[in-house]
Amino acid sequence: MPVTLDAALAEVSAEIDRQFDQLLTIPDDPRGDLYRAMRHAAIGGGKRLRPLLVFATANLFDVARECSARAATAIEAIHVYSLIHDDLPSMDDDDMRRGKPTVHKVFDEATAILAGDCLHAMAFEILADPATHADPFVRIELVMDLARASGPNGMAGGQKMDIEAENTRFDLNTVTRLQQMKTGALISASVEAGGDSRAAAAGRSRGASRVCA
């Protein structure tokens, strides 16, 4: 039976919610609100487009679902952290996100900043864990790809350009580059994380997967 896009997104969303639910167990100590803030932002809502792309590419290379889910969750953690920070008063100052109040509205601005920081760090912790892939060279490649897509030459750099665009008229080439960095870089990383077609063409014995052999 053909799978509809809506059905695929619903399945991926449920899987990513399960991953975050397991990763963000609320501790019985003063960090409780920090974890609640991360859960508020990460669980429920959102299109989950980036995880969908990870799973779709991974399926082409028969990657184990558990392994691709970890890579997808790491990328979504970066995306969610960026949304938390983007909603802050110093950025877009938004009151609502994904149909519910933004993190700094439910908790406070300091907690929202720290929640974003923690999701950013957690993304790389997930990718560096041997549970994501037994081969350390594959793990470091995943880490490097996501770091490049997230930093000044990717998402964060594109966000800064977007801020500058409020007071500067950009030409078409600059606007295109802005979109490639702010949105496109993380989407490209999602496709690349699922598998490496060059490896498949080369017929490497470990298989075509960056995520799980």
What pLDDT is attached to residue 3? 74
The amino acid occupying position 71 is A
Q: What is the pLDDT of residue 53?
A: 96
Share of the chain above pLDDT 70, in %: 91
How confident is the model at residue 25, as a pLDDT?
98
Measured distance CA(82)–CA(85) in Å, rounded:
5
Distance CA 72, CA 55 (A): 7
Residue 79 has pLDDT above 50, yes or no: yes
pLDDT at 91 over 80: yes
Confidence of residue 114 (pLDDT cuts 50, 70, 90): very high
> Letter for the amino acid at 38?
M
Cβ neighbour number for residue 183 with a 10 Å cutoff: 15
Residue 205 scores a pLDDT above 60: no
Q: What is the mean pLDDT of the chain?
A: 91
Provide the pLDDT confidence category of residue 210 given band limits of 50, 70 and 90. Answer: low
pLDDT greater than 80 at residue 211: no
When pLDDT is averaged across residues 178-190 and rounded to a whole number, the result is 96
3-state SS of 152-188 is: CCCHHHHHHHHHHCCCCCCCHHHHHHHHHHHHHHHHH
pLDDT, tens digit (0-9, with 9 covering 90-100), for 30-51: 999 999 999 999 999 889 999 9
pLDDT per residue as tens digits for the range 149-172: 999 999 999 999 999 999 999 999
Q: Pick the more confident residue, 197 or 109.
A: 109
CA atoms of 196 and 16, how far apart (whole Å): 22
pLDDT at 195: 78
Predicted local confidence at residue 160, as pLDDT:
96
66 CB neighbour count, 10 Å cutoff = 12
Q: How many angstroms separate the CA atoms of 24 and 37, rounded?
A: 10
Residues 162 and 178: beta-carbon distance below 8 Å? yes
Strand positions, DSSP E, the chain: 96-97, 100-101
Q: Of 84, 160, 75, 92, which Cα lies nearest the Cα of 116?
A: 84
Name the packing angle between helices 185-194 and 136-150 (round to 10°): 170
Residues forming beta bridges with residue 101, ordered by sequence position:
96
**Upper half-sphere CA count for residue 202 (Cβ side, 13 Å):** 10
Assess whether pLDDT exceeds 70 at residue 193.
Answer: yes
**Averaged over 69-95, what is the pLDDT?**
96
Q: Say how many C-beta atoms besides its own lie within 10 A of residue 96's C-beta.
A: 10
Indicate the pLDDT class of residue 183, thresholds 50, 70 and 90.
Answer: very high
